[in-house]
Amino acid sequence: MTMREKIEAAAARYPSRRSAIMPALLIAQKEHGHLPGPVLEEVADILGVERIWVYELATFYTLFHTEPVGLFHLQLCDNVSCMLCGAEALLGHLEATLGIGKGETTSDGLFTLSTVECLGACEMAPVMQVGDDYHGKLDAARLEALLKDFR
Amino acid sequence: MFERVLLKNVDLPDGHLLRSYEAGGGYGALAKVLREHTPEEIVELVKQSNLRGRGGAGFPTGMKWSFVPKQTAKPKYLCCNADEGEPGTFKDRIIMERDPHQLIEGLAVSGYAIGAETAYVYIRGEYVTAIRRLEQAIAEARDAGYLGRGVLGSDLNFDVHIHCGAGAYICGEETAMLESLEGRRAQPRLKPPFPAVAGLYASPTVINNVETLACVPHIVARGADWFRGIGPDKSPGPKLYCVSGQVRRPGLYELPMGIALRELIEEHAGGPLPGRKVKAVIPGGVSAPVIPETGLDVGMDFESLAAVGSMLGSAGVIVVDDTTCMVKVATRIVEFFHHESCGKCTPCREGLNWAVKVLRRIEAGEGTAGDLEQLDMLCKGIFGNTFCALGDGAAMGLRAALKHFSDEFVAHIEEHRCPFHS
Ligand SMILES: NC(=O)C1=CN([C@@H]2O[C@H](COP(=O)(O)OP(=O)(O)OC[C@H]3O[C@@H](n4cnc5c(N)ncnc54)[C@H](O)[C@@H]3O)[C@@H](O)[C@H]2O)C=CC1
Ligand SMILES: Cc1cc2nc3c(=O)[nH]c(=O)nc-3n(C[C@H](O)[C@H](O)[C@H](O)COP(=O)(O)O)c2cc1C
Ligand code: SF4
Ligand code: FES
């Protein structure tokens, strides 16, 4: 299916086109990796809604990226349960190994490092989400093994 | 051992597939409802069961359903709150990943009861596995005639759609969720009108948590008296408890409502890590005020926790041991609420910003004598003066930490350092 067809299929689930902006942005982001201005405009045009409505949502929700992110987006949870199980040390470890701070991307474009709020998987704290996958019960050794896999 | 009801299927290797669910009697309640009961009877049954909302506020589910107007030309909607953003909470994820048909059956029976033909399940976008499993389960249920036009040959039309969130805790607040579903920024609406009267697209809308809906087929199958017979009469039923933090066996536990917090932690979750002692427990996600170790004999139900100044909330039980600095925990929690504040009202947006600054200063050993008073004043300024319960939750939590662990706050200020950082 083309992006337009996917967005139309999503829009059919709602009585209002505006409701389909969020699903459409998720579809567009999957397609393009992130959401630059022209993609936002395309989404607005496909749905036939005001552009400002689309911009508004793309900037409100944290899972939408208007700037490019690395191939592997390391999203380490540092909320309470993960903090209690050592997330802070893991963040330090990642920063040192990758040579970047949180919010930054490695110069080869491979990794972006972020901290995120609770991922809803506190039973396996500390947890990191990378792409679609959760990696739990992390320690320095498991983290190293993961990074090696990605590279 | 307490019989697992809600978690019956979660350890089956293919628990998420229709055939596993059907093999355990799944969709029997839906068939029974369509064959034998009117919608009014189901609302009455759920009222009799005393089921109360598992999303945190504990509002009686049957009563909420009965507020949906009968005579209306508008379509009615059912929304399932699967946004699960409360730190310490992961029960809804596990239901959706491992037993999604239980939720779908709950949706279908509830939709029939309130007269809705469409349900939206609002799932946080991070829950990729849950989203996939639920999508697959919806497709299976449609093929098998449990969803769609003329469910199981009856004249019920009912379908379920997934709406993915995109990373904002506030979307879990039901009216913010409605805004988000309508394609706007998720900022809460003023209540009343309650969604049951005017919700999605200004139509009557029932919003229920995943676990709440998952209870419904069991109530139909086994009766209101069975449900009411588990745990305290005012807060009955089987309950999912999410245990995390500094404890030997973190995990999801299904036990009766009202079980003692101490028993949950010590017997079921294995107690503290070797050589450590439990210092404090947050019983219901970070919105719930912290309880010091001496208070752990409290029952895990809505009334008992409210009576000790805390709340059951989402039953996200976070265990903190004696190696951890409570100022740090409190700071992290207030930072979270500040980060997630939608910015609509000033006491929440500005008050939390200020509180974070003061807390960080204290934790860094740079606090001054007036800081505790200032935090107290900030809590007063926020509590009761905000649009939604996010601000209240933040203020209540901070107040409890200040009250029960004032010695740790004072030590930071007097010693000009964090006593836990040697
Ligand atoms: N599960 C989670 O991840 C989280 C849960 N929470 C919980 O949320 C709770 C606060 O939720 P709120 O929705 O603000 O509570 P609320 O008390 O305003 O409402 C609870 C439910 O009852 C309904 N209701 C209440 N009075 C009604 C009336 N007169 N007529 C019709 N319906 C009525 C509301 O529509 C809502 O569905 C907190 O106690 C907290 O524990 C907070 C954050 C996250
Ligand atoms: C800031 C905030 C966040 C919330 N997040 C959730 C949530 O993630 N899941 C949930 O079920 N309820 C959440 N709630 C409670 C909902 O507003 C609502 O009470 C609940 O979904 C009703 O369902 P129930 O009656 O089945 O519990 C939240 C409330 C507030 C104030
Ligand atoms: S209390 Fe906070 S989150 Fe709730 S409406 Fe006000 S600013 Fe938004
Ligand atoms: S606190 Fe990290 S997953 Fe919940």
Please write the tens of the pLDDT for every residue from B111-153: 999 999 999 999 999 999 999 999 999 999 999 999 999 999 9
For residues B51-74, give the mean pLDDT. Answer: 96
Q: How confident is the model at residue A91 (pLDDT cuts 50, 70, 90)?
A: very high
Q: How confident is the model at residue B421 (pLDDT cuts 50, 70, 90)?
A: confident
Per-residue tokens: A52: 């400002």
Q: How far apart are CA A108 and CA A124, in angstroms?
A: 31
Structural domains of chain B in order of their starting residue, each with its CATH number: 18-228 (3.40.50.11540), 238-321 (3.10.20.600), 326-415 (1.20.1440.230)
Supply the residue whose CA is at minimum distance from atom 4 of ligand 3: B388
| Percent of chain B scoring above 90 in pLDDT | 98
Q: How far apart are CA B198 and CA B177, in angstroms?
A: 14
Which residues are CB-neighbours of B154 under 8 A, at least 6 positions away?
B34
Q: How far apart are CA B272 and CA B245, in angstroms?
A: 10
The DSSP bridge partners found for residue B206 are B78
Supply the residue whose CA is at minimum distance from atom 22 of ligand 2: B208
For B66-78, the DSSP string reads HTS-SS-SS--EE
Q: How far apart are CA B262 and CA B133, in angstroms?
A: 35
Is A11 in contact with A47 (CB distance < 8 Å)?
A: yes
pLDDT at res. B127 = 98
What pLDDT digit, counting tens, does each position of B77-111 carry? 999 999 999 999 999 999 999 999 999 999 999 99
H runs (alpha helix) in A61-150: 80-84, 87-98, 140-150
Q: How far apart are the first and last CA of chain B?
A: 44
> To which H or E segment does residue A44 belong?
helix A37-47
Q: How far does residue B248's CA lie from ligand 1's centre (Å)? A: 32
pLDDT at res. B53 = 98
- The mean predicted confidence, pLDDT, of chain B is 97
pLDDT at res. B194 = 97
Mutate to test the pocket of ligand 2, among B173, B175, B191, B213 (most ligand atoms within 8 A of CB): B173
User: With contacts defined as CB-CB under 8 Å, which chain A residues touch B333?
Assistant: 80
Q: How far apart are the first and last CA of chain A?
A: 31
What pLDDT digit, counting tens, does each position of A95-148 carry? 999 999 999 999 999 999 999 999 999 999 999 999 999 999 999 999 999 999
DSSP state of B329: H
Measured in angstroms, the CA of A132 and the nearest CA of chain B are apart by: 6
CA distances from B225 to B106, B277, B297 (A): 19, 40, 27
What pLDDT digit, counting tens, does each position of B328-370 carry? 999 999 999 999 999 999 999 999 999 999 999 999 999 998 9
H runs (alpha helix) in B50-145: 61-66, 91-98, 100-114, 128-143
- The mean predicted confidence, pLDDT, of chain A is 96
Q: Classify B20 as helix, strand or coil.
A: helix
Q: How confident is the model at residue B422 (pLDDT cuts 50, 70, 90)?
A: low
Q: How confident is the model at residue B184 (pLDDT cuts 50, 70, 90)?
A: very high
Task: Among A18, A79, A119, select the one facing B183 at the smallest CB separation.
Answer: A18
The DSSP bridge partners found for residue B320 are B280
> To which H or E segment does residue B209 belong?
strand B205-209
pLDDT at res. B307 = 98
Supply the residue whose CA is at minimum distance from atom 30 of ligand 2: B173
CA distances from B89 to A104, B24, B268, B317, B353 (A): 29, 27, 17, 8, 25
Per-residue tokens: A98: 């990758």
Q: How far apart are CA A61 and CA B184, in angstroms?
A: 11
What ipTM score was computed for the predicted complex, to two decimals?
A: 0.97
Q: Classify A56 as helix, strand or coil.
A: helix
User: With contacts defined as CB-CB under 8 Å, which chain A residues touch B119?
Assistant: none
The CB of B349 under 6 Å from ligand 3? The reply is yes
Closest CA to B102 of B82, B77, B124, B125: B82
Place of tokens 């509002």: B59
Contact residues of A toward B, CB < 8 A? 13-23, 25-26, 49, 53, 56-57, 60-64, 78-81, 83-85, 116-125, 129, 132-134
User: With contacts defined as CB-CB under 8 Å, which chain A residues touch B84?
Assistant: 120
The CB of B308 under 6 Å from ligand 2? The reply is no
Q: How far apart are CA B49 and CA B236, in angstroms?
A: 8
The DSSP bridge partners found for residue B295 are none
Closest CA to B81 of B176, B193, B147: B176
What pLDDT digit, counting tens, does each position of B281-322 carry? 999 999 999 999 999 999 999 999 999 999 999 999 999 999
Q: Does B185 touch chain A (CB under 8 A)?
A: yes
User: With contacts defined as CB-CB under 8 Å, which chain B residues touch A80?
Assistant: 87-88, 245, 282, 286, 318, 329, 332-333, 336
Determine which of B120, B126, B127, B318 to mutate to test the interface with A (most A C-beta atoms within 10 Å).
B126
For B324, the closest chain A residue by CA position comes to A84
Per-residue tokens: A54: 């689309």
Q: Classify B51 as helix, strand or coil.
A: coil
Residue B393 has pLDDT above 90, yes or no: yes
Closest CA to A143 of A133, A128, A132, A131: A128
Task: Among A63, A120, A124, select the one facing B166 at the smallest CB separation.
Answer: A63
